[in-house]
Structure 1
């Protein structure tokens, strides 16, 4: 698992990480790790991969954690024997990865699509999640409303995505408070030069994302209690999730979750890990500490 290998295309630069190839049935998962201590899983968004956590994971590791950043199937440097997705493909992969790596329980940090995988893990295997922090995505028990529809406006184009089509348009001012450099965008998208990764975009949305959205809209998760302590954090400049709307769709959290809070980060939009990495680290470590403390009244978190 610790064998160094030549990664193609070349991995983007991120000092301090070790890179592993972890084999599970039908899948060879690229995992970047840093630090020592209790495990923290960091689950990337779309169209990103492990490198999303390049400035965040080292600081969490410095607080005494072993941070584990896998590339999902169809992303980054992970390769699958067979293409295709079903609604729980990636959480199944994650559970298999945890088993092989000897991770019985972990804290889980996620963004964007990674939040889907994180909450699937929390609902299916709550005993394996110590605490969860999710960025830019509401909890699965949210009250679905037509006001959420703008948050799904990117999906039709991705449902029709063809191999080789650029994805640069996703890193637009609509989703970022501050623009990324060309080098940063290349760091995220270079893996999409691989045909398998480029082809996976449409399969991901057709096989997993859309079925999951339908489950959310049907209120399926509102019939199951969320057990792990969970914090949802949004950027103040994420106009698809203003505070008033977030608090509205989470207003009955006391009945839906054992322990839940929301928080907000200044100067950040959807790609909050790039816009406000300091806030991401602060909210993550603060929530880890709060989750370890005795449970106080489960009120949604104050704006911060």
Structure 2
């Protein structure tokens, strides 16, 4: 909840002080470079996935292209200073701290960029029909209209009141779905134990990747703490840990519910399929590379 509050406050500040289409002036015209920039916006607007949806919606309404917003929403909870540091701390005693940071950031960047490009193809066909009414950017007045009716500058206290009103609206709008997602996650954790996950990793290593992806969706962990949970599975192959750490911040029960306040069903399905398939393929690739080089990715004394 604190991160949702923070996200709502940041969203209110963006709505009040960020000029319409200000960010688009700094983006390249080509889609791929602009999507790549969107994927690293988390370094400027660091948010975990709990609060990033409301920030992303405000950036979308401020004219940031949908493909860039999707890339930011997916990669931002991973590619930011707090999560990078927490991932390193969680795995430093395993002797693979920098390795896990590099793999997690790299895979998240690839998944976010490719998904952003796929969404761009959808947007060219369907346009704003992919978005809910609250996420569609307002119609920008023409230059003649702006000159005929210039917007008066409001006093600071009025603007602070506008920020509070926007933040409160976004907080209430999203919080219902966060609570529902947390309830579902709590129910799932009653029936899924750490021992079951480690048993799958040892007996069927390739099954561990989709199993950890499924667990990440159910557990709804914050990206600033999930690395410590992944590190606790000491006998789990590094590919399974990566699947958990890459997919979790991009897709879980609460996020899917939050998406319904911004995206139409078609776009939600597109994002869901894209991030699941890409994460699975990339993590299987990591598993094959590790096995080919006889690397374990396990902390000392955890092998076998």
TM-score, normalised by the number of residues in structure 2: 0.26
- Greater relative contact order (CA < 8 Å, ≥ 6 in sequence): 2
- Higher helix share goes to which structure? 2
